[in-house]
Amino acid sequence: MSESGCRLDHPAAAKFRQHVMDGDWTKADHDLQELRMLLGDTTNVLDMKFLLLEQKYLEYLEDGRVLDALHVLRNELTPLQHNTGRVHQLSSYMMCSSTEELRGRTNWEGKGTKSRTLLMNKLQYYFPPTIMLPPNRLRELLSQALEMQALRCNLHNTSQPVTLQNQSLLVDHCCPTSAFPIHTVQVLNDHCDEVWFCQFSPDGSKLATGSKDTNVIIWDVHPDTCTVTLKKVLEGHNYGAAYLSWSPDSTHLLVCGPEESPEVWLWNVETENFLKVTQSPEDALTCCAWNHDGKKFVVGGNRGHFYQCDLEGNVLDSWEGVRVMSLWCRKDGKTVLAADTHRRIRGYIFEEVSDHQIVQEEYAIQSFTVDKKDRLALLNVTTQGVHLWDLNDKCLVRRFQGVTQGHFTIHSTFGGANQDFIASGSEDNQVYVYHIRNEQPIAVLSGHTRTVNSVSWNPVHHHMMVSVSDDCTVRVWGPEDKAMKPPTGTEISPPTSHASATKPTLAAS
């Protein structure tokens, strides 16, 4: 204190605090009058005096000093003409026959340090910080510092907050690269042709992969080992399985083919019963999305076909002339987002037959996905790579650097415990991983030998990620302790713009 030239409390405020904690209400009231000029608003003084008298009254009641309590009620609280309803409530406590009943009815801690500390915390609200230091101020500042360190950590992938209980103050917080899902755990060769799409189920327990070989494989997820095992093969997709979409309850799967496919397959994953949804052999139904109620879905394609259907495959509504590239259903249960061949994303409300503009790009939008908060959209744009848009503000937030994207359709993903990360495939055979606030990749993952078409981050088990490629393989990525030996080459970019973080090590190649 003497070295810094600072003081914790104004001398009069320090006296006031001590007298409140001692239960010396006469002196505390005298101190309050001294502090009146420092508080400014006279209403604040009245509020504080009422709180002091309330505590004094309750302590008298607990001590059995009923006449003294009655005196406080009649001659000190009532004349204030303040918070009359509370005064009437306080008067009813005179009828309490025991300390336990009094504490139960008032939800009060009783006479002593605990209740007086709570009182002091209430009184603290009225003091400017220059007069009385707010309680636990140092702890709050240190907690804010730790929170900021976590926000600046490029690899922070946990919903558990960084606190004084789990983080040392001796070093800055920096998550290790070993815990991040950038190490190859499995390479699966069960598909016999290009693998076009992958997606974890919403409950995180299953993975679906679709391939040019006409098969969709359902995999069981084992989060303890960061591995998957083949559960079943869904066959018969004559044109191949180019796009998949899980129902919100993880029980059904929609499967779309490539451009020439006129049908959508609706699978019950457990029973393997399926339904083909088709309107016309001239249709090209290449993308789909589930409504959030799980009772209907939308399908579309780039020949101008755009339908809303129920679980029996009945077309409920249709929209003519929209050449759809990618679809998403918003959380409001009525708005469908559709990327079209005019390089835009528009919102369509079938029930109202209305639509509105949201996104306009300069180049073709090949695919897009939306985060859990229904606020941010991640677009893969022809020759441009990956763009992040704010759907509410209708503005471009960030262009991510590094991804090689020509005219192939690549599907990116949000991921991580707080969806702070983005991962995308690339035509240079790599997987690029970004922190959502930084346009430069934090990791570039090698292993695939041809274009990486799709990446999916497990929405529940955030230490798992999967990528699929034209090299016919499915790769599962996880922490280093689950990795194959030896792990595949991984290039990690150093954290940007904060010297406190240590440079992550490079994984062995």
Q: Which residue has the higher pLDDT, 136 or 75?
A: 75
Q: What are φ and ψ of residue 421, in 5° steps?
A: -120, 160
Once rounded to an integer, what is the mean pLDDT over residues 324-349? 96
Cα–Cα distances in angstroms (integers) from residue 38 to residues 20, 41, 49, 135, 311, in the given order: 18, 9, 15, 19, 69
Please state the domain extents for the chain. 11-135, 177-492
Once rounded to an integer, what is the mean pLDDT over residues 378-406? 96
Confidence of residue 388 (pLDDT cuts 50, 70, 90): very high
Confidence of residue 490 (pLDDT cuts 50, 70, 90): low
CATH number of 177-492: 2.130.10.10
In the prediction, which pLDDT does 501 show? Answer: 31
Q: Which residue has the higher pLDDT, 114 or 302?
A: 114
Lowest mean pLDDT among 50-54, 149-153, 215-219: 149-153
In the prediction, which pLDDT does 145 show? Answer: 86
In the prediction, which pLDDT does 506 show? Answer: 34
Tell me the per-residue pLDDT of 172-213, one tens digit each, with 9 for 90 and over. Answer: 888 888 999 999 999 999 999 999 999 999 999 999 999 999
Q: Which helix (H) or strand (E) holds 36?
A: helix 25-39
In the prediction, which pLDDT does 294 show? Answer: 95
Tell me the per-residue pLDDT of 156-172, one tens digit each, with 9 for 90 and over. Answer: 888 778 777 878 787 88
Once rounded to an integer, what is the mean pLDDT over residues 396-402? 97
Once rounded to an integer, what is the mean pLDDT over residues 391-415? 95
In the prediction, which pLDDT does 508 show? Answer: 32
Confidence of residue 7 (pLDDT cuts 50, 70, 90): low
CA angle (218, 224, 230) in 5-degree steps:
20
Spatial separation of the C-alpha atoms in residues 425 and 450, rounded to whole Å: 10
In this predicted structure, the answer to whether residue 494 has a pLDDT above a threshold of 70 is no
Task: Indicate the residue type of 402.
Answer: G
Q: Which residue has the higher pLDDT, 422 or 144?
A: 422
In the prediction, which pLDDT does 504 show? Answer: 31
Tell me the per-residue pLDDT of 460-485, one tens digit each, with 9 for 90 and over. Answer: 999 999 999 999 999 999 999 998 77
Note the residue count of the chain.
509
Q: What is the dihedral of CA 445, 450, 452, 458, to 10 degrees?
A: -60
pTM as predicted: 0.77
In this predicted structure, the answer to whether residue 486 has a pLDDT above a threshold of 70 is no
Closest by Cα among 208, 322, 222 to 265: 208
